[in-house]
Structure 1
Amino acid sequence: MLGGRRLARGIVAVIATALAAAAVGAPPSSASGRHHPQPVRLIFDTDFGGDVDDAGAAAMLNAMQDDGKVRVLAMMTSNLTRWAAPGLDAINTYYRNGNIPIGALEPGYDDPENNNLSTYAEHLAKSFPNDVRDSSRVPEAVDLYRKILAKQPDHSVVIAVVGGQTNLAQLLASHPDHHSRLSGTQLVAKKVHHVVAMGAQFPSGFEWNIRLDPEAAATVAERWPTPVIYSGFEVGDSIYTGRQLFFRTPPVNPVRAAYELYVGFGNNRESWDITAVYYAVLGGNGMFRPSEPGVVNFAADGSNTWTPTPGANRYYLETTAPDGEIAGVLEEWMVQPPESGRHRHDG
């Protein structure tokens, strides 16, 4: 969370249109003629309990699901703490979406070094209604990935990963099983359309999510068979959201409680994960665009460099609107009350 390029203009426009069309659920070939796109089939992968923008991103996804923009197939946690899965479930339960499946990295393993980063997750797990109570009670993340992906239409799933990429690297390395006769890489190639990853910094940097598991990030960058669009540190670092939660949502909202614990009443937070999730569901929408293609390289310490490469299928996001305008659109989704969707958002 904390912490490009020379192609013909026409080709770049086609790539950008195709990625944006996929992000709103329409095939690139039919995007222009489709007035009622199907909800995006999305898996959310998060290090919930680290920074609080994970909670803001979860709120946004629930609101977008209420509005029919997305179908959240599952949420996965990538950090080793017992509180991440129940904390997520508390938010989903508040939005009356408590049936969203949750998977966890190595259920039952509790890393003491992570506990000091999970204050709000523990609070949500203990103080707000949820059916999970402990990450050991949910399926292992890669098994759930394989189960969910095997049932989806080909090339239909978008993955939004906003923490370490451990689960994705382990998914690639997974073997055929009772869910699918395909290897992990084959299953991803068959079922996943693209990934939006909050991580790295462009054109170069040293960002927190990549540092969580540099080997996994390098594996995904080198071996993931479908496009990956990175929402770098620089995208959300100057876009502040969260303050309106305190004035437009009730105290029983666990997302408001998470922000109050993390930033204090009435304060904002940077929107790293939130911008990535927005793009994963709704595309650029006049606020973001993908760069021209290139190759991202990750060093062993998690630092990254970018090399423009025509024909590659890695991109990073660029903003195309003022930060304040983007923040206003994002925050409207964050404060939408449960089940108050079914109305149009300009964003």
Structure 2
Amino acid sequence: MKTLSRLILLFPKICLSVVFAAPVKVIFDTDMETDCDDAGAMAVLHTLADRGECEILATVTSVRDVNSIATVDAINRYRGRPDLPLGMVKSAGVLEPTKFASKIATEFPHRVTSAEAVPDAVMVYRDVLEKQADHSVVIITVGYLTNLKNLLQLPASDGHPSGLDLINAKVSKWVCMGGNFVGNPPKDELKLGNVNFQRDAKSAYEVIHHWPGETVFAGREVCSVPSGLQIGESLASTPADNPVRRAYEHYFGGKAKNRHVADLATVLYAIRGLTDCWDISEPGRMNLQPDMKFDWQPGTVGKQRYLLKKPANDRQVEAVLNELIVAPPHGSR
């Protein structure tokens, strides 16, 4: 207790947020297919859960590759949460080549026996959200918006509310990795790319135009390749049986190397908020076009915002994420 008291005196904002704030309830929605930062994001998520900062309600994938959800389950298992609800896209959705997911699914134990045995992600969303207190759940998407589109369109049936009613009642915030917010006001001509929207453009268009609640975008200029932020090579210091380390090794075809922090930063913001890492825009609205280009429409009636880089703190953000990505599972020696 003396040590804790000294920490609170030295770092009151940090300690009070960790010790006294209720854990953030999270549904984590990932593509876990084309880039290893999804695996890194899961390491960050589980470390924050180990420290009591969040409660992981479910982990789902936004792709049709069964190896992707098997990789998610393998990471959950390694991190001491083998029973987390799983779900994947069961209808039309994205399927891309992967450098690591099929290998992780082969190398590590998991409970995924077939795609048919995995529940539809939209049903997992429904079942999990129904059990939560009103306005208590943060949804994190670091992949495609297929599952959220399916949730928005889910009708009421057999005594269950519609997906839209559940979103309005249960979700406090949606945090989305995607978009390029360049300029003031921002305008995205896709010169930097935006695959999280482009690969399932119909779903992205539907969700971004019709999501009813608070939304925060983590743009590519803040945390993906254009940002210049990167970590990952430190995973070489973690155990050889760490599936996150192996995901980075397979992705790079050898040693784990540094990679951008898009999905990791999105998780960090969703759980801890702005802290000293970012600023945030004024409210507005993404005027997304069917080709996934957009311009930003400022206005107090909008419920959407986007993260802003703080000057000269890139190394600080990297240091925070690096400490979280290499932290051992709770209870390990």
Q: Give 1:151's aligned residue.
A: 131
User: What is the identity, as a one-letter code, of the residue corresponding to 2:172?
Assistant: H
**Separation (CA, whole Å) in 2 of partners of 1:239 and 1:319:** 11
- What amino acid sits opposite 1:76 in the alignment? V
Contact 1:102–1:139 (CA under 8 A) maintained in structure 2: yes
Instruction: State the one-letter code of the partner of 2:84.
Output: I
Instruction: Note if 1:91 corresponds to 2:75.
Output: yes
Pair 1:297 & 2:287 matched: yes
**Secondary structure of the equivalent of 2:133?**
coil
Residue in 2 aligned with 1:204?
187
| Alpha-carbon distance, 1:43 to partner | 0.3
State the TM-score, normalized to the length of structure 1: 0.83
Give distance in 1, aligned partners of 2:280 and 2:309.
Answer: 9
Aligned match for 2:110, one of 86, 111, 130? 130
Alignment of 1:14-29 (within 5 A): none
Task: Report the CA distance shift for 1:136/1:239 in structure 2 as closer, same or farther (over 3 A).
Answer: farther
Please state how far the C-alpha of 1:311 moved relative to its aligned partner. Answer: 2.5
Distance 1:135 1:334, change over 3 A: farther
Q: Which runs of 5 or more residues in structure 1 are unaligned?
A: 1-31, 342-347
Alignment of 1:100 with 2:63, yes or no, is no
Contact 1:84 1:135 in 2 (8 A): no
The equivalent position to 1:279 in structure 2, one of 252, 255, 269, is 269
What is the CA distance between 1:110 and its match in structure 2?
9.4
Determine helix, strand or coil for the equivalent of 1:44.
Answer: strand
Counterparts of 1:92 and 1:301, CA distance in 2: 36
> How far apart are the structure 2 equivalents of 1:197 and 1:304?
15
Of 238, 247, 261, the match for 1:258? 247
Deviation at 1:45, TM superposition (A): 0.6
Displacement after TM superposition at 1:58 (Å): 0.8
Tell me if structure 1 keeps the 8 A contact 2:121–2:147: yes
* C-alpha deviation, 1:281, in angstroms: 0.7
- Shift of residue 199 of structure 1? 0.6
CA distance in 1, matches of 2:18, 2:36: 36
- 2:62–2:93 contact (8 Å) kept in structure 1: no
Unpaired runs of 5+ in structure 2?
1-15
2:313 is aligned to: 322
* Structure-2 residue corresponding to 1:23: none
For each residue in 1:104-155, what CA deviation from the matched residue of structure 2 results, as whole angstroms up to 9, or x when unmatched? 0007x897x52x2x23111111111111143332110101100000000000
- 1:215 deviates by 1.9
* Offset from partner CA, 1:148-170 (integer Å, 9 cap, x none): 00000000000000111111011
After superposition, the C-alpha distances for 1:257-283 in whole angstroms (9 at most, x for unaligned) are 000111241410001111111101111
- CA drift of 1:228 comes to 0.6
Change in 2 beyond 3 A, CA 1:328/1:340: farther
Q: Secondary structure at the match of 1:119?
A: coil
Percent identity between the two aligned chains: 37
Call closer, same or farther: CA 1:86–1:35 in 2, change over 3 Å: closer
Shift of 1:204: 2.6
- Superposed, 1:165-204 pairs within 5 Å as 165-178=145-158, 181-202=160-181, 203-204=186-187
Work out which of the residue numbers 208, 214, 219 in structure 1 matches 2:206. Answer: 219
Task: State yes or no: 1:80 paired with 2:39.
Answer: no
SS in 1 for 2:233: coil
Which of the pair has the greater relative contact order for Cα pairs under 8 Å at 6+ separation?
Answer: 1
Distance 2:75 2:32 in 1: 11
Counterpart in the other structure of 2:238: 249
Q: Which amino acid aligns with 2:280?
A: P
SS of aligned partner of 2:66: coil
CA distance in 2 between counterparts of 1:55 and 1:134 reads: 21
- Code of the residue aligned with 1:150 in structure 2: it is E
TM-aligned CA deviation for residue 85 of structure 1: 0.8
Q: CA RMSD in A?
A: 2.0
Are the counterparts in 2 of residues 213 and 302 from structure 1 also a CA contact under 8 Å?
Answer: no
Would you say 1:68 and 2:52 are equivalent positions? Answer: yes
| Shift in alpha-carbon separation, 1:250–1:85, aligned structure 2, 3 A | same
Kindly indicate whether the alpha-carbon contact (under 8 Å) linking 1:63 and 1:333 is maintained by their aligned counterparts in 2.
yes
2:220 to 228, 233, 241: 233
Alignment correspondent of 1:161: 141
CA 1:134/1:278 → structure 2, altered by over 3 Å: closer, same or farther? farther
Choose which of 303, 327, 331 in structure 2 pairs with 1:313. Answer: 303
Q: 1:82, 1:136 within 8 Å by CA — same for their partners in 2? A: no
C-alpha change, 1:130 and 1:144, in structure 2 (3 Å) is same
What is the one-letter code of the residue matched to 2:323?
E
